Amino acid sequence: MLFDSRTRAALREAGVDAELLRDVEERVSVAASEDAAAVSAFLGGGPEEPSRTCYSDMDQTHSNERFPEHDVRYVDLFTHSQDVRGFVRFETWGAYVEGARVLSEDVVELTLGPTVNERVRFAHERADLE
């Protein structure tokens, strides 16, 4: 359910009927699923596929690169209403994903969880992060 009970009540009071609320929630859910699929495909599918090299704007203390290189082993994303969550596994470490979106055909953005705690853009070419 996209809207909490207070928001749903306020929308109904404003004249939005239950059918329209369900339609909006369904559209948002579909959009989240499409984003999850697009980001997964962009970063490189599942654990059976070969790793894929990407670059990010992540600030890493152990890298001198402005846009460090990452070997993405797999991405496992799922949706819950409008939320895109999951896990991304790099060559030697991984992070929880709490949000994902497509910024362009060349760049995606993930909110990485506790080990990073920030939004990070990923691209297949460093120049796309400029």
Instruction: Give pLDDT tens digits for 100-125.
Output: 999 999 999 999 988 788 999 999 99
34: CATH: 2.70.180
Instruction: Give pLDDT tens digits for 50-105.
Output: 778 999 998 765 667 789 998 998 899 999 888 899 999 988 889 999 889 999 99
pLDDT for 128 equals 96
89: left (phi over 0), alpha (psi -120 to 50) or beta: beta
pLDDT for 1 equals 66
Q: Work out how many domains the chain is built from and give that number.
A: 1
Tokens of 80: 């819950």
Portion of the chain with pLDDT greater than 70, in percent: 93
Domain span at residue 75 reads 5-129
Determine the Cα–Cα distance for residues 72 and 103; give it in Å rounded to an integer. Answer: 19
Instruction: Give pLDDT tens digits for 44-55.
Output: 866 677 778 999
